[in-house]
Amino acid sequence: MKSTKVSYLAMIIFHAFIALIIYFIPFLSKIYAILIFIIGFIIVYRSKNKNNEVLFVSAYLVGAEVLLRMTGGNLNNEYVKFSVMFFMIYGMIYSNFSRIALIYLVFILLLIPAVFVTVLEAGNSIDIKKVLFFNLSGPFCLAICSIYMYKRKIGFHKLENILMVMGFPIISTTVYLFLYTPNIRDVVTGTQSNFETSGGFGPNQVSTILGLGMFIFFTRLILFSKSKLESFINVVLFAFISFRGIVTFSRGGIITGVVMIVCLLFLFYFFSNTRGKIKLKLVFVLTGLLSVSIWTYSSFQTKGLIEKRYANKDARGREKTDRLGGREQIMDAEIKLFIDNAFLGVGAGLSKYKRAQELGGEVASHNEITRLLAEHGVFGILAFLILFATPIVGYINNIQHLYFFSFFLFWLLTINHAAMRTAAPAFVYALCLLSVQIKIPEKTESTSS
């Protein structure tokens, strides 16, 4: 027991140290990215993926992606997505997959017609290869992760360990943000998303991964804190990550994290007996007090501007005309493109260029659903229906998956405000498909056919 506690604390300190050395020696971020892949490959190769090691390696990559991006560690923009896909395929070589999971191969095939449209319609000024990689790497990553994880048996405790592994590099990300802007009050001047408080990187993506980190360390706090020391550590981590997420001034990721937590607590309460509900009421009260404290401190550090941000007001307190930071215009334009090109769509990755004529500039879509409609037409509708319905149907015989609805909502909300820029929504979506058992199965590597 003591060794476990020391190990957990040691890993936290180690990942704080990673942020420190990358901040002072930025080049080491690239070394860090390469080492994750190499060490992960060695682990999977030696173990033959007997205990689903690829899930742990991939989870770590997902947790580290935003840090690598903001520090220039990625070898290319899709490095983590391609790495995750590699490990998922590598894992399938050792431990196979469910034949029913091939429904996600159908999902991939539905995206192909729009690729041909792009090849035929793209002008000479468009880099077709870059456009296709940027827009299809996320959906392909989701499909391959889903094929690996569909009905794969895993114990609940092991699932929690996967989340813990994902959370460690999120600690590094948070520490790096603190080093980048230790004094929030000096850099917050308005209510728009703030790049200074987001490590100089996209606030939307930073808040997304920090929102996921909030959920990870909240679950560790209420379910896996076995001592007062662990409880204290997890409270501090939850508060620290929540605060840095809030001050990015990007609302989507934080709201998503809160929704995940509320959904989990509601599920626990619904299935608990009378004694359990009494304990959960205490958890609700303490969680509320902690949340109010974090929000109050955030408001103080931002001079009250964060409250105006969430109330959709500018720095002077005036109501903003749009509620989604201009995304409504993009969504409306994409729906119009779908109506005009309902069968095949405008082509994978081309909606940005088509919208430029109407909006006066090339703006990437933040909404994966309307992008699917605009670029893939009716095939996009069918593709989305597969993604939406498959996990829900699978959950009917998988009610022990206590995180299912939280994971599903993370994917659904994230693709509506941050598309699939990172591997996080793809990987977390696939986690919905795991066959989770409270009692650890004898052979976790086996799958149902």
User: For residue 446, what pLDDT band results from cuts at 50, 70 and 90?
Assistant: very low
CA distance 449 to 444: 14
Sign of CA dihedral 60, 66, 71, 75: positive
Residues 6+ apart with CB under 8 A from 90: 41, 44, 49, 54
Q: Nearest-5° angle of CA 444, CA 448, CA 449? A: 145
pLDDT band at 130 (very low <50, low <70, confident <90, very high): confident
Residue 151 DSSP class: T
Give the per-residue pLDDT at 390. 96
Q: What value does the mean pLDDT take over residues 27-40? A: 97
Whether 210 and 244 have beta carbons less than 8 Å apart is answered as yes
Averaged over 398-405, what is the pLDDT? 91
Query: Is a pLDDT exceeding 80 seen at residue 291?
Result: yes
- C-alpha dihedral (65, 68, 70, 72), degrees to nearest 10: -140
What is the mean predicted confidence (pLDDT) over 208-226? 94
**If you average pLDDT over every residue of the chain, what do you get?**
89
User: Alpha-carbon distance 373 to 335, whole Å?
Assistant: 7
Distance of CA 296 to the CA centre of its chain: 26
How far, rounded to the nearest angstrom, does the alpha carbon of residue 399 sit from its chain's CA centroid? 23
Over residues 79-89, the mean pLDDT reads 97
Q: In the numeric block, which tokens belong to residue 411? A: 């994917």
Instruction: Of 10-14, 250-254, 324-328, give the lowest mean pLDDT range.
Output: 324-328
Under the banding of pLDDT at 50, 70 and 90, the label for residue 359 is low
pLDDT digits (tens, 9 = 90+) for 179-215: 999 989 888 888 788 888 888 888 999 999 999 999 9
User: What pLDDT, on a 0 to 100 scale, did the predictor assign at position 442?
Assistant: 46
In this structure, of 283-297, 345-359, 401-415, the range with the lowest mean pLDDT score is: 345-359
What confidence tier does 358 reach under pLDDT thresholds 50, 70, 90? Answer: low
Whole-model pTM: value is 0.93
More confident residue, 361 or 46: 46
